[in-house]
Structure 1
Amino acid sequence: MNLYNWIGLLVSCLLFGNSAQARGIFSKVGASCLYVAANFTSFPFNCDMPDLAFKCRCQDPAFLGTVTNCVETHASDPQELSAAFSQLLETCKAQGGKSWALVDLVKMNENATNYMINYETLPTPKFKATPRFLLFNPVVVPGELYNISYNSVSKLMDQRNLATVYGFYVYAYWGAIMLIAIIVNIAQWTSPYYNNKIAKTKFALWCKSKIICPQIIKPSNFNRNCKNNVLHSIYTMPVRMHALVIIGYLILNVVFCCVNYEIAYPNTVFTCRRGQMLVSIADRTGIIGTVQLPIVFLFSLRNNLFSNITGMSYRTFQMFHKWTSRVVFVLLVLHCAFYLLFVNVRGDYIERWGLLKWRCANTAFGAISITMLVSFFRRSFYELFKATHNVLLIVFAVGSWYHCLTLGWTEYLGAAYAVWGVDYLVRWAKMISSGGILKGQCKVIFDTKTFKPHSIKIVVNHSGWWKPYPGCYCWIRILKYDMFWEAHPFTVISATSANNYNQLVFIIRVKDGLTKRLANHVSKFPGGECNLNLIVEGPYGNNIPFKQYDKSVLVAGGVGLAVIYSIAMDLAQIYRAQELRGKRLANDASHKHISLVWFIPNFESLMAFKNEIESLKSFKDIMEIQIFITRTLEDDVLQSIISDANLINPLGSSSDEVNIEEKEDVGDLEEGTTGDKDSKDVELGSNQIFKEQRLEEVEFLKWLIANNGEQISISFEDKPFLQDELSEFLLNTTERLPTALIACGPTMLNADVRLSVVKCLEQGLCVDYYEEELLW
């Protein structure tokens, strides 16, 4: 080697070699010389075989001299020479555990030139021949064997690079989906009237009714009496549009894992054809799965930038997260399976990799496997799922990082973990911006029959650095010893119902878990009220572009009114402001209208929103409210008021047996009570909380009856068959004008509303459906 080449080599190493990270094979020349020196002859160097990890040969001057002489002979320029030497240094360090400096290789190469022997002088230069003696001299690699090795390494690198390119194609696919969603979202906000013209066309209506809006399976095809878990599974299936996106994603991954494999033979890296094919498939599936990890983490974020710019909900991205994680899991399973098959064929990959890399691989794979298994218990044991999910992800992150450290593709792991970490930083920033530790005024609303907590109302004064918007929600963490580790999302009632703009109001339905423990704790205080320290993380959620619609129909179920109310009040204020500014003509007053439909199981649910319902009276020229209480009122006083008003016939009033049975149920629920009415009155009278709540309920019911039919229509009959009656209502009242329909409630209610929208679209009515439902 002349002086110019050595100077170029040193400069290149300073610029590139020393900063290069271990990436498996990154130099074709270096890897070709390394593998041809390791496999081109049946005569081992002065090492016990097999030495697959180069632990011995990386300390053997004859072997290193053979490799460096080969590199010097076939490297075309100093940069290629630098990369080839870096390949040798990294291989010896990562696999052989021997660290050499560049000057050491230079000295070995200079010394080797004095002892080189020709390959032709070796007695039996054949692959897989039985060893007869050891080599103590470096060997000049002939061009023919180098070309075979170069072709072997090139095919291996090309296959791995192709797998990475296929991973980029998956990014391009999701990028195209996001771009389409961004364009549609921008069009809805910036060109509402032009967007309406397109939405009224037959093609647009057909796309909405057949592709965009319907679920992949129509729930109407199933009997409503089948098991709830079956119905829930049917209703939570993706809509057809989302299903098509997921199916396209699945097809891409299947195709990319099945095409364009090339086998190079003879081969100095993998001497077995079958083993080479198994490794190719294992590399393809593992690389495509690893490259997609940033997408999996991105779709799982609470603070997802794409959610804001595309208008897609948190629920939609959670669904995409589930499916991408499932695909990546299957790819990693295939990656492990095919490498194990290769080990079975060769029986030597444990030695080649070393125990540390296998342990890291097993740790990472075990963690992600358990994570997927725990996901099946998500609905029933959410807090357990969340805790184990995060712990196992950390284990997976550490194991996969050390597994890939010497193989490459760690930049994708780093990107995934960086995205994950940034999301947590933003969460903390939102907690701090909301004011850190806040005081929450908690009040329990009781069920007057069972005397158990029904709902909780929480009022919080936050920092005021942000203002709640319609439909936004926050994650609340109660700072109590048995609750602080749990955080749940709750919708913010519109600021119009609060006393000031720094105030957040939450109405929470008491169920099992955190809400039940919180309600029981608050119930112990006088009046069922107390102050608690809590942390608010928010706001979250997207706005809906209502400007393009002349009619809005809002359907709520239970505490789903928290979302619907804030949207309704915001719309009403916009319409009222337009009136005050003169932007609405007198004859146009009927075109801007809001219909609110609310389904609740009992009167206590109505009491939780007493102030909000009363505040809607100021918008009676814009908004109408229909309330359906779907269960029989258990309270005799309230039932008698309804009977006197002739709203409905008292249910079960003709049967004394039924009344007695109901009273006996009350007695069984509370210790020390009997089944008779006097005992019940005594119990209520002895408890100031229930007495005050009873009086408040009576007054509010009388107010509702007095205003019934003017703006607020209240019904105490069974819930109507929503699929048919809602579609008839839309067809009769919307006058074929662009209509927004928003639903927020239980899964089955949302599915029924979606079906009614499809019926309207099929009859030519321009309706856009928005679903406000958290999936967490």
Structure 2
Amino acid sequence: MNKHFILFTVLSLLAQTGYCSDMWTIYHQDDYVAMACKAALEGNAAWCAGTVKGYKCACKNQAELGSWMNCIYQETFENNVGVENRVIGLCASSNKTYTNDDLRQIYQNATNYMVDVSKDDTFNKTQPISYPITDSKKVHKTYLGYYHGYYNRWGNISTSHWLGIASLSMWGALVVISGALHWLGVLVPSLKKKLTGPLFNGYRKNISLAPTFKKHHINPVQSLFAAGYIPTRFESIAIAIHFLYSILACAIIGYNYYHGDKVFKTRMAGVARYYGDRSIIVSVYQVPLVFLFAGRNNFMQWITGWSYSRFVTFHKWLSRMLVLEILIHSLAFTAQSVAIGKLQSRLHEDFYRYGIVATICSCLAMVLAMYTIRRYAYECFLVVHIILIAMFTWTAYLHALDQEYQKYFWACIAIWCFDTVVRMARIVYCGLIRKARATFLVEENTIKLTIPVPSYVKTYPGAHCFIYFLTPSTFWQSHPFTVVKSITDEGHIHMYCKVKEGITKALLKKFQASEGSSVDVKVLVEGVYGSQSPYHHYDKAVLIAGGNGISGPFSHALKLATTDVKTETKLYWQVREYSVLNWFGEELMQLKNTKVQPIIYVSNPSSSLSEVHNGSLSSSGEHSDSSSGHEGKEEYAGGEKTKESLVNKFDFIEFHSGRMNVSEVVAQEIQESVGSVAFGACAHPDMTDEVRVAVKNNLNGSNKRVDYFEEMESW
């Protein structure tokens, strides 16, 4: 899929949000004067029979129009061109055309017949009159009530839009700045190496590389009070700024109530309406951003170089704040409905009921997306989340229809549809239904998928695909796995899936019911996603893996080994037993006689050959089928002899017994490097967090450029 096409398309979708921001009427001083004078006069006198709405009577009845201009001139100054132009515009909407001279002539004529109704005891303001009236004290007081009422109401609407635009602009600025820095590093890598020293290292140590708290980031916390992934400190700062801004925008900035307000006659009615308008207008600018951040085909990934997991983090936290703003809107309008005595009548109106449903859907979507539910009941979460978000979008659209805010939700729908279409295109690109071979690796509690893909599908280090397992209960789910190009099977890719809950556990049960060592399963492959970390720009690359997290680091190491670059490369791998050489031996053999130094730490080095082999490693170091497995057993049968033979076969690998001390490894590699160093990690979440913290802690002690790339994503 062409990245430039995706960029152009999504920018077009976002432009719709910008178009929506131009859909509200911005009122100025002249508007408030014109509207307030007209409302004040009609609040104290009548020129047309029946209930007067709009400007038809005021513009066509010469007596009222003369009174209107008299009020305007007395409250401002005579021949006020600005307000005259507003009256001309208002009358044009009622199909009545005037010029400035026309209005002045009507006013001059009206002054000959003006009546001060405050001095007429027989005057009844409900009975239509045929003469102009002058600006009595009562009219002036009413004018002030309407003027401040309109100013507060419509001024709040405009302020809300500008605050919403500013919120969107802040995220846009962050993306642009991050994108500029990212592409500067890509296009001018030598410049990045020079950005060292106390200032740059201090920023990276305390902000860009640091976890929010002591250690946790990839490894989720699970406590009595909270559970889930903790953002990095950079992410937390961005989220905190947005949160503080939302509090200021929705609850503090720009509110004022005028005692004597004629638009909202009680303080509760006015203030509740102001809070209700402000919170929802600010939020509608954020809704398209929430949808965009959740998409897999988010063009901002290409601009910024940020991982998908970072955008999902922003999506989750912006969504939570969005729900709070929706709640403020709902509670405020409930209070306002009570204050003006319209709660019962509004409950029977469609727009109000749609708003209630939208609020409930958004709250349920937030609550049911909590980490515990996602982890232990992901399938239920996914179905319910999609349904709730679809219902929220639909009902919020209908709720906003009469207020002309529906266009913001069209932007959301467009983004969602675009992402879905591109995802379907990626599935077609990868060949639609694929017959995958699944092999269970007992020692690692891992399922190895071998999937045929069309020859034009190109993989690269750091790439991942989403897999749909085509079973009746899981066909609608997709799970991300790192891709490794097969060494022995041309046109195939490998993926290693840790057995957990859900689909992997269902596959394990299928293995247990089967007599063979592998089973076939039909899948859809959606890809290829992800970006390649630029290890080739550094003097040294240190790739750290754990267990079945070897896929990504190995791909990077192999790329560096087969590319004409001078990068010194080390591949560290923490495993439990030597048995990993059964299922990854053929890949490791590709590193023999290359500049890559593989280093394996075996935490359980006492494992014997029979434990190690499991009948799948042949003498050539390649995976064989079940029939040839027995030959391999005969060749390597016997305790220590097995281990010796194995170590001799992989003599290019440096083996260590015990667990890797991540902090020592990182410090040593930085100290021994002659230049810039890049670390990459994909391991158990706790180990991955250790690498991040170790790199951060060793920045101050080095004048070399040291970077960290997280090859593991969680959300």
| TM range, smaller chain | 0.7 to 0.9
Normalised to the residue count of structure 1, the TM-score between the two structures is 0.72
Where does 1:344-359 land on structure 2 (aligned, <5 Å)? 344-351=338-345, 355-359=349-353
Change (3 A) 1:44 1:301: farther
Q: CA–CA distance in 2 between the matches of 1:169 and 1:215? A: 28
Seen in structure 2, the aligned counterparts of structure 1 residues 231 and 280 have a Cα distance that, compared at 3 Å, is closer
State the match for 1:714 in structure 2.
655
Cα distance, 1:690 vs structure 2: 8.5
1:63 and 2:51 aligned: yes
Quickly say closer, same or farther: Cα 1:712–1:342, change in 2 above 3 A.
Answer: same
Output the CA distance in 1 between the equivalents of 2:115 and 2:577.
Answer: 92
Match of 1:532 among 521, 524, 539: 521
1:487 matched to 2:429 = no
Give the aligned residue type for 2:241.
Answer: G
Q: 1:32 to 1:422 in 2, by over 3 A?
A: farther
- Note the C-alpha offset of 1:38: 8.4
Report SS of the residue matched to 1:720. Answer: coil
Distance 1:230 1:743, change over 3 A: farther
Amino acid at match of 1:741: F
Contact kept in structure 1, 2:535 and 2:678, CA below 8 Å: yes
Structure 2 Cα separation of the partners of residues 153 and 302 of structure 1: 44
Give TM-score scaled by structure 2 length.
0.78
Displacement of 1:426 in angstroms is 0.8
Structure 1 segment 261-410 matched on structure 2, within 5 A: 261-264=255-258, 266-351=260-345, 355-376=349-370, 377-410=373-406
Moved more, 211-220 or 755-764: 211-220
Structure 1 residue aligned with 2:676: 738
Equivalent-residue separation in structure 2 for 1:139 and 1:405 (angstroms)? 41
What is the match of residue 493 of structure 2?
504
Gaps of 5+ in 2: 1-19, 69-81, 97-112, 615-625
C-alpha distance in structure 1 between counterparts of 2:296 and 2:410, whole Å: 19
> How many Å separate the matches in 2 of 1:598 and 1:207?
30
Whole-Å separation in 2 of the counterparts to 1:230 and 1:444: 33
Report the counterpart of residue 15 of structure 2 in structure 1: none
Give the CA deviation at 1:317: 0.8
Q: Distance in 1 between matches of 2:257 and 2:263?
A: 12
Output one character per residue of 1:202-256: Cα deviation in whole Å (capped at 9) or x when no partner: 3212222222212121139xxx9xx973499799422222222222222222222
1:454 matched to 2:445? The reply is yes
Q: Please, which of 574, 578, 587 is the counterpart of residue 599 of structure 1?
A: 574
| Structure 1 residues without counterparts, runs of 5 or longer | 1-19, 46-59, 89-101, 104-116, 126-131, 448-452, 579-583, 585-591, 642-686
* 1:66 and 1:140 in contact (8 A); partners too: no
**Secondary structure of 1:463's partner?**
coil
Give, in angstroms, the shift of residue 762 of structure 1. Answer: 2.1
The answer on whether the counterparts of 1:62 and 1:135 sit within 8 Å (CA) in structure 2 is no
Where does residue 750 of structure 1 map in the other structure? 688
> Which is worse superposed, 146-155 or 423-432?
146-155
1:270 shift after superposition: 1.0
Partner Cα distance (1:118, 1:213) in 2: 76
Distance 1:569 1:137, change over 3 A: farther
Shift of 1:275: 2.2
Q: 1:156 to 1:688 in 2, by over 3 A?
A: same
Partner residue of 1:768 out of 707, 711, 714: 707
Residue 598 of structure 1 deviates from its aligned partner by 0.9
The aligned counterpart of 1:159 is: 156
Task: Report if aligned partners of 2:446, 2:548 keep a CA contact under 8 Å in 1.
Answer: no
| Closer, same or farther: CA 536–325 of 1 in aligned 2, 3 Å | same
Do the aligned residues in 2 keep the contact of 1:523 with 1:529 (CA within 8 Å)?
no
Residue number among 594, 600, 605 corresponding to 1:627 in the alignment: 600
- 8 Å contact 1:704–1:714 — kept in the other structure? no
Please give the alpha-carbon distance, in whole angstroms, between the structure 2 residues aligned to 1:720 and 1:211.
Answer: 27
For 2:699, give the aligned amino acid. Answer: L
Equivalent residue in structure 2 for 1:214, among 210, 221, 242: 210
Equivalence map 1:336-735=2 (5 Å): 336-351=330-345, 355-376=349-370, 377-447=373-443, 454-494=445-485, 497=487, 499-500=489-490, 502-522=491-511, 524-525=513-514, 527-574=516-563, 577-578=564-565, 592-619=567-594, 622-631=595-604, 637-638=610-611, 703-707=645-649, 710-717=651-658, 719-723=659-663, 725-735=664-674
Corresponding residue of 2:186: 189
Q: Using the alignment, how far apart are the partners of 1:693 and 1:264 within structure 2? A: 89
1:256 is paired with a residue whose SS is: helix
Q: Kindly provide the amino acid, as one letter, of the partner of residue 528 in structure 1.
A: S
Shift of the 402–36 alpha-carbon distance from structure 1 to 2, 3 Å rule, reads farther
What CA deviation, in whole Å up to 9, does each residue of 1:637-680 have, x standing for no partner? 44899xxxxxxxxxxxxxxxxxxxxxxxxxxxxxxxxxxxxxxx
Q: Which amino acid aligns with 1:763?
A: G
- Spell out, residue by residue over 1:437-476, the C-alpha distance to the aligned partner (whole angstroms, 9 max, x if none): 22223333334xxxxx932222222233431111110001
Q: 1:730 to 1:273 in 2, by over 3 A?
A: same
Contact 2:55 2:90 in 1 (8 A): no
Q: What whole-Å deviation, never above 9, does each CA across 1:264-323 have from its counterpart, x for those lacking one?
A: 454332122342122112211121112111111111111111111211001111111111
Which amino acid is the alignment partner of residue 600 of structure 1?
A: V
1:618 positional shift: 4.0
| Structure 2: distance between partners of 1:217 and 1:65 | 60
- Cα distance change, pair 634–707 in 1 and its aligned pair in 2 (3 A): closer
| Equivalent residue number for residue 108 of structure 1 | none
Moved more, 234-243 or 393-402: 234-243
